[in-house]
Chains A and B, each alone.
Chain A
């Protein structure tokens, strides 16, 4: 994937808007997420609906037209991931963590931006969790390929 010189500026500018939006929506505040999950304020529905609706219109239009992205040459497609039980297992583990802490990855980065320094506990935890599952799954894949090649 060769990159256009505007690739990084676009990513940075989009990240700024993304983070500003998370701040503006108050999703960067764990309290607001917990209020949503305990039905005290259902406003966060509009964050997800608003975001996915806007994204959906663009994904649908461009993937239909079959265009290529100007900065990478990558075809415009949809985000389709294969389904297996990991989606349910991982989704459930994520759900427990989200319900306990009120924070998800994107909102955690934004939370740091609004000055919420204790969110470093959550971001540190996320790296530890991602590292643990990565080590475990890398070893599992290693064992599986060793078995399949008869070693």
Chain B
């Protein structure tokens, strides 16, 4: 009885919003990855889009290598934006209405901008991001991806706690 209560408290403490939204969301992301994989054999990641799209405006060899995939990566990203917009339309604000559908972060712009620059550099040097390494790579039991995920996860945890420790909020 008491252990059951302690267990419940721990679940409450670590999962204040439950787990269903996370698990369902994750499974949908996984299913989308699988659909592309089954149909095309491609293990799609989200960060290659940055470089493949840059090949439209730059002839640098680093970007040019992605020319063959740049068109479908744009379509994939447009789909991601559209799917999230559909989610917002249904679940944010009034259901099935545009009223209050938009959600806006309170994180300060400089954090988003500086963080974004580092994400852009790091994901491309590190051969993948949370979807490429995290979903496809871990799903492939790739040792490189497992090391990559542990690296960015540990560094991100340290960084976020230092930033919070300095009282930077939001």
A interface residue numbers (CB < 8 A to B): 1, 6-8, 10-31, 34, 37-56, 58-60, 62, 68-72, 74-83, 86-119, 121-135, 137-138, 141-142
Contact = CB atoms under 8 A, between A and B. Distances in A.
5 contacts: A8-B75, A21-B29, A96-B122, A114-B92, A125-B118
Given A31-B107, A72-B41, A138 B61 contact: yes
A15 B26 contact: no
Given A14-B33, A94-B123, A127-B120, 18 more contacts: A23-B25, A30-B112, A50-B23, A50-B26, A52-B139, A54-B31, A55-B34, A76-B37, A79-B140, A81-B137, A91-B148, A94-B121, A99-B156, A105-B129, A113-B85, A126-B47, A134-B51, A142-B61
A89 B125 contact: yes
What's the dominant secondary structure at chain B's contact region?
A: helix
Interface of B: 14-19, 21-47, 49-51, 53-54, 58, 60-63, 68, 72, 75-88, 91-92, 101-107, 109, 111-145, 147-149, 151-164, 170
A90 B122 contact: yes
